[in-house]
Amino acid sequence: SYELTQPPSVSVSPGQTARITCSGDALPKQYAYWYQQKPGQAPVLVIYKDSERPSGIPERFSGSSSGTTVTLTISGVQAEDEADYYCQSADSSGTYMEHVVFGGGTKLTVL
């Protein structure tokens, strides 16, 4: 298995753009996924397959990938976006996925 590395915290003012990075050696070969978790709540999937947005997720959430780093971008940050964000990926030794890994999480603070 491998590790995913995220910054512990990111701070932005309302209306600005927040970028949260996630680095891992296998990311060029495997998709990344992003989850938002607010205090006392279950996580919510906000990005899948690097850049796809599930239905119901606001358009201000987007994802991108470049080499060993994936990025979650939140444009026009709102107070309600303050939360912990986790990246996730998986690896395999052959045809199918065998192990799942989460990044350590990034706390987004809206100033």
Residue from 42, 56, 67, 93 binding other proteins (CB under 8 A): 42
Q: Return the biggest CA–CA distance within the chain.
A: 45
Query: Residue 93 Cβ, how far from other proteins at the closest point, in Å?
Result: 11
Write each residue from 71 to 100 as x if it is in contact with other proteins (CB under 8 A), else as -, in one continuous string.
-------------x-x-x-x-----xxxxx
Does residue 6 contact residue 105 with C-beta atoms inside 8 Å? yes
Residue 98 CA to residue 11 CA, distance in Å, equals 35
How far CA 90 is from CA of 25, 33, 42, 79, in Å, comes to 11, 10, 20, 31
Q: Which residue number, 32 or 110, has a Cβ lying nearer to other proteins?
A: 32
Interface contacts to other proteins, rule CB under 8 A: 1, 30-31, 33, 35, 37, 42-45, 48-49, 54, 84, 86, 88, 90, 96-105
